[in-house]
Structure 1
Amino acid sequence: MTRLLTLFAVLLGLAAMTAPARAESYDNVVQAELRPGWRLPNGDHMAALHLRLAPGWKTYWRSPGDAGIPPEFQWRGSRNTRAITPQWPAPVVFWQSGMRSIGYKGELVLPLRVSVKDARGDARLGGVVDIGICKDVCMPHRVRVSVDLPAKATRPDPVIAAALANLPFSGPEAGVRGVSCRVAPAKKGVGLEVAIDMPRGTGREETVIEARDPALWVADPDTGWSGGRLVARTTVRHASGGAFALDRSALRITVLGGAMPVEIKGCAG
């Protein structure tokens, strides 16, 4: 939390230096709604959060990079639901003033797989979503959304289906032949090198590495091709600044900017 607040202060400070002060209603920047979707054969329900942003504005992915603001979801207004799991479409990498962020520009349709307690009955999805939005200024923003999820709705929504079609490919689907991770001591943390044996792409690949433990911070990696493999080097630190164990099998590695987006789960030592 301290790191996030510090990031907000830095971003707002940069904005103050580059843009004249002005009064603006940021409620007009984002239009948010929940698409009710359809009931799946197994009893789950596929819905979606649909965000439309004003021209030039963007919002952030689940792992927004060092210059981004992570989204948070609170679904306390829901009924007849057990769990809500976002299905993230492949994002875009943005660079501004030498800082990297990861997200979506203009529009985001975020599919939400809803586990329903009683699959025979209607459900309701509702709550608040805290997101980051950015143009000349970057700031947190809250939207309130709700929608009924009818049990009899079985026809797929083509807008949600298109977003599901844009999910990253799995490692096997993308032709990944193997992934290895090496760790070494580093100043104030652990150095991590990930080597991915995969078909050569565009040469513009970027990687995002996420740990299962939310207390672990993974810096934006340096990524490039070496010896026929895509290699990402980064540093991992604990929020407390103390020692920690890194479970390499639980790492999630996403490759963006290549021939296709790829999500890889876990790596060997």
Structure 2
Amino acid sequence: MTHIPNLLAALAVFACLSGAAPATAQPEVFTANLRVGWQMQNGSQMVAIHLNLRDGWKTYWRAPGDAGIPPSFDWAGSRNVKAVRFHWPRPQVFSLAGMQTFGYAQELVLPVEIVPLDPSKPVEVMAAVDLGVCSDICVPASFRVAAVLPRPGAEDGAIRRALRQRPSTAQEAGVSAARCELTPQKDGVKLTAILQLPSLGGDEVVVVEAGLPGVWVSAADVTRQGKELRAEVDMVSTAGGPIAVQRDAILLTVLGKNRAVEIQGCAAP
């Protein structure tokens, strides 16, 4: 898989949307638009970033894996926005040339919960999105979306389906314990996660996110014995030096054939 190193190389798109009008990003590769969704009972607005990719192309999850370009979102210019919460659908696992990556082929509907400063006032969102798209090569792409969100708006079937594709919570998946052993290394930390949960089907994959900036995490070595799933990774600071791991910030995602589960935080042994 070849990577183009210049972040501004190919597929740069700058389009401003109103409502759900499409923004075209090199039409032979993908199109993007903002689904404006509806106002929730808690006053937040549920919207979604919607990508349609050409056959053979994919884009990446928030943790792209061994090779890939992680997506980034800049909400500068938005008005009456207090917080933004992503509800990522379960990603696919791709394996190629000994590398494992996580993402979405053909289509991604990414639900985004917009929390307003004042729910009684209009919400205007503007987002600049940088992401990677891959086929035989991987290239960076950029686009912009913007809209004044409708109130109350209307239920959106595509967003609802994407919300149902989120990983289960630890409680929903029957996780009875989540512990992490931390072993200091010369260049970082070795983390061994020990999870008590029923099998999710097939060859399970565990993704460990440190919850800290500037920390590289290796692919996990995963073993299962009965209801115990163990995953071992190396964590290394990209700046060098020690890492102060925060147990409550660690996010563990287990991807199985039948379902997925997210576990926030892990206790000491």
Query: What is the TM-score of this pair, normalised by structure 1?
Result: 0.88
Pairwise CA distance, 1:235: 0.2
Pairwise CA distance, 1:63: 0.7
Q: Equivalences for 1:204-223 in 2 at 5 Å? A: 204-223=203-222
> CA RMSD of the aligned region, Å?
2.0
Pairwise CA distance, 1:201: 3.4
Q: How many positions carry a matched residue from both structures?
A: 251
Query: What amino acid does structure 1 have at the position aligned with 2:83?
Result: A
Pairwise CA distance, 1:257: 2.3
Q: Equivalences for 1:36-115 in 2 at 5 Å? A: 36-115=36-115
Matched, 1:179 2:178: yes
Pairwise CA distance, 1:187: 4.3
Q: 1:77·1:146 contact (CA, 8 Å) conserved in 2?
A: no
Matched, 1:11 2:10: no
Matched, 1:234 2:233: yes
Q: Equivalences for 1:135-214 in 2 at 5 Å? A: 135-153=135-153, 155-214=154-213
**Cα 1:44–1:24 shift into 2, 3 Å:** closer
Deviation per CA, 1:167-226, whole angstroms, max 9, x where unpaired?
Answer: 100111101111111111334221111111111232410010111211222111111213
Give the distance between the partners of 2:73 and 2:200, measured in 1 at CA: 34
Query: What amino acid does structure 2 have at the position aligned with 1:11?
Result: T
Query: Residue 103 of structure 2: SS of its match in structure 1?
Result: strand
Give the distance between the partners of 2:118 and 2:185, measured in 1 at CA: 50
**Cα 1:58–1:125 shift into 2, 3 Å:** same
Query: What is the TM-score of this pair, normalised by structure 2?
Result: 0.88
Q: 2:187·2:242 contact (CA, 8 Å) conserved in 1?
A: no
Give the distance between the partners of 2:199 and 2:72, measured in 1 at CA: 35
**Cα 1:84–1:228 shift into 2, 3 Å:** closer
Query: Residue 89 of structure 2: SS of its match in structure 1?
Result: coil
Q: 1:121·1:151 contact (CA, 8 Å) conserved in 2?
A: no
Query: What amino acid does structure 1 have at the position aligned with 2:77?
Result: G
1:5 equivalent in structure 2 = none
Give the distance between the partners of 1:88 and 1:238, measured in 2 at CA: 26
Query: Residue 162 of structure 2: SS of its match in structure 1?
Result: helix
TM superposition outliers: structure 1 runs of 4+ over 3 Å:
23-26
Pairwise CA distance, 1:24: 8.9
Q: 1:249·1:266 contact (CA, 8 Å) conserved in 2?
A: yes
Pairwise CA distance, 1:231: 0.8
Pairwise CA distance, 1:144: 1.4
Query: Residue 240 of structure 1: SS of its match in structure 2?
Result: coil
Q: 2:11·2:139 contact (CA, 8 Å) conserved in 1?
A: no
Q: Equivalences for 1:227-266 in 2 at 5 Å? A: 228-266=227-265
Pairwise CA distance, 1:82: 1.7
Give the distance between the partners of 2:78 and 2:90, measured in 1 at CA: 27
Structure 2: state its 5+ residue gaps. 13-24
Q: 1:33·1:146 contact (CA, 8 Å) conserved in 2?
A: no
